[in-house]
Amino acid sequence: MESNSLSHQLSMAMDNIKRSQKHMFKVFHTDEQPIFILMHFEEASQGGSVPISALKEAMGVTAAAATQFIKRLEDFEYVQREVDAVDRRVVKVSLTEKGKTAVTQAKACFAMALDGLVEDLGKEDAENLIRLLNKTSIYMEKEFLK
């Protein structure tokens, strides 16, 4: 019986994290600034030039969605497309200087939020949280991404 109670509490805690993530998404992604998508792009591209097909895979979205994301980022002049010099059929996308600046600012803001969480939790609880989140991620990948 205790296991069911703990499972229920865990489910509620995960729902709370999801709600928090939605609030964070609203801060980092608005109609005026698609920063959340930009940060995903920067992570997937690792700061370099990358084909749209690779972005699609890294972001776990369809080709159409990846193209829409890129178009949206282009509208804000955060990314630019370029034809691959070796294979002219391949279009690569890279961050512009404006995009790099936006990513740097967003990462700094995100880091400040996480620094606040670490301070609020304290060193020991923060380290335990990191350990448990990593352990949870490993379990979920093993269990659900078979």
Residue 131 amino acid letter: R
Question: Do 48 and 71 contact (CB within 8 A), yes or no?
Answer: no
Residue 29 has a pLDDT of: 60
Looking up tokens 């829409």 gives 68
Residue 65 CB contacts under 8 Å (≥ 6 apart), including other chains: 56, 59
Residue 79 has a pLDDT of: 92
31-144 CATH choice from 3.40.50.720, 1.10.10.10, 2.40.50.140, 3.60.21.10: 1.10.10.10
Residue 94 CB contacts under 8 Å (≥ 6 apart), including other chains: 45, 48, 49, 50, 79, 80, 82
| Positions in the chain whose pLDDT score sits under 70 | 1-3, 28-33, 146
Domain ranges (residues) in the chain: 31-144
